[in-house]
Amino acid sequence: MSELRRVLVLNGPNLGRLGSREPDVYGSTSYAGLVKACEQTGAELGFAVEVRETNDEGELVRWLHEAADGKIPVVINPAAFTHYSYALRDAAAQRTAPLIEVHISNPHARESFRHTSVISAIASGTIAGFGVNSYLLALRALSELPE
């Protein structure tokens, strides 16, 4: 039996509050529900998915370094860091495996400051606006990309 391919699903600030934070924008799925959905979908696709969340920019940078060093694919929702964190962008640019940016809402349908992503240009792709399903679509996309 072959070993499952490891995938990191990384989440930036406030995503741990899913389900209670602005459900009209982010839906009613809890963070625990997001984790479960990602792990289940990942297992179906042959991935060992590890979901992480932090409100700390430095920790997210360290996780991206870990992924680059280990050639680990990443699904990332940088949250607010999407729009201004050049440190996160530079860490993500060091990727050695696919990196897919995801957003629960559609940033382009929201406030103008959300229209810019410093991550998109260095990502393999971006999926946004499909609620928690954005993550599941990203995992499916990863399953179609070469290792």
Enumerate the active-site residues: 26, 103
**How distant, in Å, are the alpha carbons of 4, 92, 98 from that of 143?**
12, 20, 10
Query: The dihedral of CA 83, 88, 90, 91: what is its sign?
Result: negative
Q: Is 106 within 8 Å of 126 (Cβ atoms)?
A: no
Q: In sequence order, what are the residues at sequence separation of 6 or more whose Cβ sits closer than 8 angstroms to the Cβ of residue 64?
A: 10, 74, 76, 88, 91, 92, 94, 95
